[in-house]
Every structure is written in structure tokens, then in C-alpha cells.
Structure 1
């Protein structure tokens, strides 16, 4: 495409601002020019195009069909330019702030930081443990790694990474491990089960997905966070319920066993970013996370 195939860019900028703000006066104020300058730029576009972009309706302006099409295209193009400029204006190695629940951070992200640094050397990651619900604008974060279900806030760009899978796990040190390892999943209905306040429905979800007619009722020790729950399981204190990626390394090392495997839930692992933020670095991270979640345990975990 040559320059002759492009509209006058100053005129296009004036048109995009007018269409977005629905006012020549507000567009002039936003662009720091006069009302007349914006009007002239729009007329220049209309003359070059050979058709009107706006029609008058009362005291306001209404986009024509051609105007609506140009508004959508120009708006997307200027948004991409703004995103690219913002990204290029950052320091070369500006930190990328990733938020995630503390249990995910401790048990899954931190053990993989060396591998992430080797695979994405240009991404300087700053980790932020997030236990409270995230604000809709993800204030202070470039992205967040979450396990959850829709609906998501409208201001988020959500990239699915993997289906969540959960299952019961226990240590070989647990007193009933030999007996349970050779029993059907229904044997857990008679066990006192460890659970976490952050995911109180996990045992119910697992029982339903496993086709059990009854939900486990005998809840034992409860823990505030998943991290503590899994530490208790590793100590042989009982049977815990856990997302598969958080225990893959322990299973590979023989520290935990999962006699009944794992089942899909309605939740997903997702990477979320502010919808208007530049997605370049987040896209590279999302691709890496997807591969990691699909890969076997880390080597050297025994």
C-alpha cells in the first residue's frame, strides 16, 4: 500500500476523536485545536472519500454507514498505535508485575522461575501474592494468573491456559494410605478429609465429577490456604483435595500419591490483563504458562 492509498492522517485523527466523543467541540478540546480546524479536517476526509461521514440530527452529529465503518477501523488502529507506543516507551527491562494466589505462587510459579527466565530472558518478572479479590482495573498489576470461572470483569482480557483438574492426594506416610490406595474412590466417603476455607466446595465438585452419589461429609482439619492444606497432606495428616499442577512435582517425587487420578472441573487456569493494556509481553507469558501447565513435573524433584 502506498501513501496515496492512506487517508490524510491528521484528518483521520480529527474524525476518530469526533466519532468517539460524539462532538466536534469535545474533539477540538481533546486535540487542543479549534472547532473550525476539526470541521475542516472532517470535510477534507469527506471530500477525499466522496461521501459524507456524518449527518446532522438536531444539534448533534450522526455517523453515516461509511462513518461507522471508518470509526471502527480508525479506532482500532489508533488503539494499537497507542498500545505499541506505550510498550516501546517503557524502559527496556521494565518489570512485568504478575499477581497470583499465594499458594499458586509458592507451589507452582516459584519452582519454575529458573525455567521461565531461561525461556523468556527479556521478561523481568515481579511476583505479587494476591489473596483478596482483584479489583476490576487490576490496579498495580500487568497481569494475574488465576483459577476460576466466568463471568469475568468486562475490563479484563482473559486468556484461557488450561482446564482445571482436581483430585484427592495423600502421603505414603498417612496411616491409611496402603488401604486407600487399593480401594475405589467411594472409600473416601468414610474418611475424615482435609479441606481449605478458600475452596470449600472442592470435595463436592470432585465427588460429583467422579460420579459418586454422595458428597463426602466428614470434614476434618480445615486450613486457611491451599498451601497449608498440602503441607498437611505431605506431613501425613490426611487426604487433601488439590489442583493437579500444584502436586505434579510431589507426585513425581513420590511425596504424594493420587490413587484415583484427577477430574475436570468447571474452572480454568487463566491469565488476565487489563483490556486496554498492551498484550505483547502478556501473550508471550500466556504461551509459556500454557506449555508449562501441559508439561510433566519438573526434573530433579525427587
Structure 2
């Protein structure tokens, strides 16, 4: 279609708003028009294109296949137009506020900020501590919230981003001091760091050591402290693969064995009240889901990367676990 045959911008604007809200009435409220004006503009657009864009149902409208295709195009068009006008006027784009747990920010999100900014051009991410503030807080509410644990209750708009597996990891400095374990049962003589889920007994059973009694060790109340202790060389941690992938890749941690056990928790995404009217927030949410799914699942299944033998002492028969 040539530019001369493009439908009126007002009709496209009415269609995009109605498609986003799935409601002519809410589109009319947003654009300060009457319901009849919205309906007329969309009917005119359908006549110009020769296709039906909506199926009119009782109290709501549903996009047809043609409508879904046009919605994707028109939403992108209006987003580009808004960003271009903002740059022309020197007005910065509205930030996307993402509230995340500290361990998720430092171990997963911060190493991927470049990926996020490349996937959602023009985004200005504002990271916030998940749970900060209270009912009397003056802080601006987040647009997206990432939580770790059981499924959040009492909130709407919750999506499960991913589950995870628990694997044993330790810092090279710790392994250089005590020796690398040759077999899973050897870990019963190491200092084992216990995290929030304390799944060591389950891990030993999965490794075929049903009678092994994990030694008592320090209990770290959250994953941030657990991984910090492991990286500092304090002992062996049983950690979620997605939270240690960057540390393993950077050599701060080494995975010890291929055995992994399911993590009882999961990663959840909660959309704030602003998300429905912000396509850029939708794109950030979509990127989070895709990026979480693309974390190297090979960390769960393939043999762990080996540390050069010259960097470690030979494992003693009864290693020192200090």
C-alpha cells in the first residue's frame, strides 16, 4: 500500500486503542471521544481495508486474525512515533521501573542489561529493590515485579517466568585449599552451605547416596548471602542454575557434579497497574520471559567445566574443610 492510500491516522489511532483495551468504550475514554466515534472510525477502517478487524461480542470485542496483524504493526508504529517526538522535543522516555530481589539483580539481570537495551531500544530501566517501601511510602510503584519463591498470592497479573534446578558449586579458591571432590560422596566431608531450601539430603539421594547424612553447616537465610559465602570461598553451596550461570561463566564459581535436583521455588513476574497502557512494559516483560527460557539449560545436563588440575591440589583422602 502506497503512502497516498494509507488510512487516516485517526482511524488507526482509534483501532490501536480499542485493540489494546479490547473495548471501544475504554478506547473512547482514552482518546476523549464518544463510543460512537470510535465505532465509526473502526468501521471506516475495515471498509477501506476490506477485512473485519474485530468480532463484536457482548460487552467486549475480540481481534480477528487480520486485526491481530494490524495491531502488532500499529502498536509498533505509534511507539516509534512517540519516541521520535520525545527525542525531537528533548523529552526523555518514561522509565520502566522493575522491582527485583537483590540476588536476581546482581546475579542475573545486571549482567544482561545490554541485552535488554538491545531488545527494547530506547528503554530506560530503573531497578528497584523488591519489597522496598510500604503502604505509606512515597516511592513510585514499580511497573514490573520479579519475585522468587512460591506463587504469589492475592495479586493479579502473575506469570511464571521459569523454574530451576539446584546444583553444587564452589569457588576455585576454596577448591584449591581443600581439593576438588572426586565423587559425590566425598562432599559429606566438606563444609556444605545450607540455603533457604536446604536440599542437600535430596541432592545426595539423587546422586545415589541414600544413606549419606549431610554434615551440619552454616545456614544462610537467603540466596544472596548463600552465593556471597560460596564466592568468598567459605564452602560448597547448592544453588539455582540461573542465579549462578554468570558466576560459573566468569570463573567465580565451579560446578562440581552433573547431578541436579528440582528447585521447589520459581521465578514469578507481576505486572503493575501501569502495564496495560505501556507497550514498552509489555516488551520488557516478553524479554524477561524469553531470556529466562534461554539461560543455558546445559548447566543442568552436561558435565561441569573442569578446573585445570595444575590450579588445584590433589584431593586428599580426608580433605580439610576449613
Please state which structure has a larger fraction of its residues in strand.
Answer: 1
Shift, 1:201, TM fit:
4.8
Shift, 1:261, TM fit:
5.7
Report 1:151-300 matches (<5 A). 155=157, 166-169=167-170, 177-178=178-179, 181-189=180-188, 193-197=192-196, 200-203=197-200, 206-207=203-204, 210-213=207-210, 217-233=214-230, 237-242=234-239, 243=241, 244-245=244-245, 247-248=247-248, 252=251, 258-260=255-257, 263=260, 265=262, 276-278=278-280
Shift, 1:103, TM fit:
3.1
Shift, 1:2, TM fit:
1.0
User: Quick check: 2:201–2:214 contact (8 Å CA) kept in 1?
Assistant: no
Measure, in 1, the Cα distance between the counterparts of 2:192 and 2:35: 71
Using the size of structure 2 for normalisation, the TM-score is 0.52
Shift, 1:185, TM fit:
0.1
Measure, in 2, the Cα distance between the counterparts of 1:233 and 1:147: 20
Shift, 1:168, TM fit:
3.7
Report 1:65-104 matches (<5 A). 68-85=64-81, 87-88=83-84, 89=86, 91-92=91-92, 97-104=97-104
User: Quick check: 2:193–2:219 contact (8 Å CA) kept in 1?
Assistant: yes
Shift, 1:129, TM fit:
3.6
Measure, in 2, the Cα distance between the counterparts of 1:257 and 1:61: 57
Shift, 1:176, TM fit:
9.0
Q: Give the secondary-structure state (helix, strand or coil) at the position aligned to 1:245.
A: helix
Q: Is the alpha carbon distance of 1:34 and 1:122 closer, same or farther for their aligned partners in structure 2, counting shifts above 3 Å?
A: closer
What is the aligned length? 274
Partner of 2:32: 32
Measure, in 2, the Cα distance between the counterparts of 1:72 and 1:21: 11
Deviations along 1:189-217, one digit per CA (max 9) or x if unpaired, are 466632122xx154356446545446754
User: Quick check: 2:99–2:127 contact (8 Å CA) kept in 1?
Assistant: yes
User: Quick check: 1:168–1:262 contact (8 Å CA) kept in 2?
Assistant: no
Using the size of structure 1 for normalisation, the TM-score is 0.55
2:142 to 137, 140, 143: 140
Shift, 1:140, TM fit:
2.0
Measure, in 1, the Cα distance between the counterparts of 2:102 and 2:54: 53
Q: Is the alpha carbon distance of 1:13 and 1:131 closer, same or farther for their aligned partners in structure 2, counting shifts above 3 Å?
A: closer
Gaps of 5+ in 1: 133-137, 297-302
Shift, 1:228, TM fit:
2.7
Measure, in 1, the Cα distance between the counterparts of 2:232 and 2:218: 13
Report 1:106-125 matches (<5 A). 106=106
Q: Give the secondary-structure state (helix, strand or coil) at the position aligned to 2:226.
A: helix
Measure, in 1, the Cα distance between the counterparts of 2:256 and 2:56: 71
Measure, in 2, the Cα distance between the counterparts of 1:10 and 1:80: 16
Measure, in 1, the Cα distance between the counterparts of 2:42 and 2:126: 45
Measure, in 1, the Cα distance between the counterparts of 2:285 and 2:237: 33
